[in-house]
Amino acid sequence: MSDRIPQPFREKSISVISSHDANCCNTARAWFESIDAAYCRKSDSRYPEWVQKEFSWKPSNWPIYWCEATQMDGFDCGVFAAIVRHLLTTKGHCVIPVQLIENFNEQNVINWESQWRQAKANTNWICDSKSYHEAVGVISDEDELNVWDPIDQGEITPPNSEGYGQVTHIRPIEPKHWTGPQNIIWEGQSLNLNKWQEATQQPVKESTDQQKQIVDVHSRR
C-alpha cells in the first residue's frame, strides 16, 4: 500500500494555523466565529460555505497565524480546512482532519507548480500527476465519517474510477483527546485512523425490491 503513496505525502502532517499568545489571534478567531454565526442564521447547510466565498484558493506561505489569516484574500487547502475545522468544532460537531490524495493531469500540475513557485510557496503537495489535499471529516450521530471539501464545497465520496479529480487515498487523522474508535466507517468502507488507505467504492447493497425484481426476471425464463 505505502509504495503507492508518493514519498512527499507519506509523513505529511496536518495543517495547523498558529496562534500568538496575545489578543490579536483571539480576536481573529472571534471574527471568523461571528461571521459564521451570522451565516448560520441564514443557511440550511451545516458547513461554513461562506469561507470559500470570502477567500479564494491560492498559495499560502507557512507558518500562518490566525491574525494574518483575516488580512489575506485567499489561502491553500490546509488553511481552509483548519478554519472550517475550528468553526465546526466551536459549534459542537465531532470533527477530524482528513488527508487525501487525488489524481489530476499533467497540465494542472504544471500550472499549479508555477503558481506556487511564483508565490515562493512550498510545492510539496504536488507529485507527478497526484496532489495532496486536506478536507474536513465530521462524525455523524451514527458514528459514520462524512468528508467535506472546503474548496469544492461538497461531500467527498469514494471514486468511481481512478479518473480526473478522483480521490485515490485517504488518511483520517486522530484528533487530540480522541476517545472514539480507531476504525471509522466512510461510505461503507472501514478506515483506520492515521493510516493511508486506498479509497474504494463499496458495492451497493441491493434493496429487497431490487432483489425481488431479479428473482422475478429469473423465474420468467
Residue 71 or 118 having the CB closest to Zn ion? 71
Grid cell, residue 35, equals 461571521
Residue 25 or 100 having the CB closest to Zn ion? 25
Of 63, 61, 49, nearest to 118 by C-alpha is 61
Should residue 121 be labelled a site residue for Zn ion when binding is judged by CB under 5 A? no
- Show contacts with Zn ion in window 55-114 (CB under 5 A): 65, 67
- In the three-class reduction of DSSP (H, G, I as helix; E, B as strand; rest coil), residue 22 is classed as coil
CB-based contact 200:194 (threshold 8 Å): no
Q: Measured from the CB of residue 60, what is the shortest distance to Zn ion in angstroms?
A: 16
Residue 86 or 133 having the CB closest to Zn ion? 86
- Show contacts with Zn ion in window 146-185 (CB under 5 A): none
CA 182, CA 11: separation in Å to the nearest integer? Answer: 19
Residue 23 or 194 having the CB closest to Zn ion? 23
Q: Measured from the CB of residue 34, what is the shortest distance to Zn ion in angstroms?
A: 17
Q: Measured from the CB of residue 67, what is the shortest distance to Zn ion in angstroms?
A: 3
Identify each DSSP E strand in the chain by its residue range. 56-57, 74-75, 94-103, 126-127, 130-139, 145-149, 154-156, 167-172, 183-186, 189-192, 197-198
Should residue 20 be labelled a site residue for Zn ion when binding is judged by CB under 5 A? yes
Stretch that binds Zn ion, among 18-26, 94-102, 186-194, 210-218 (CB under 5 A): 18-26
* Cβ burial 142-167 (10 Å sphere, 16+ → b, else e): eeebbbbbbbeeeebebbeeeeeebb
- Show contacts with Zn ion in window 21-40 (CB under 5 A): 24-25
Residue 60 or 131 having the CB closest to Zn ion? 60
Contacts with Zn ion by CB under 5 A lie at 20, 24-25, 65, 67
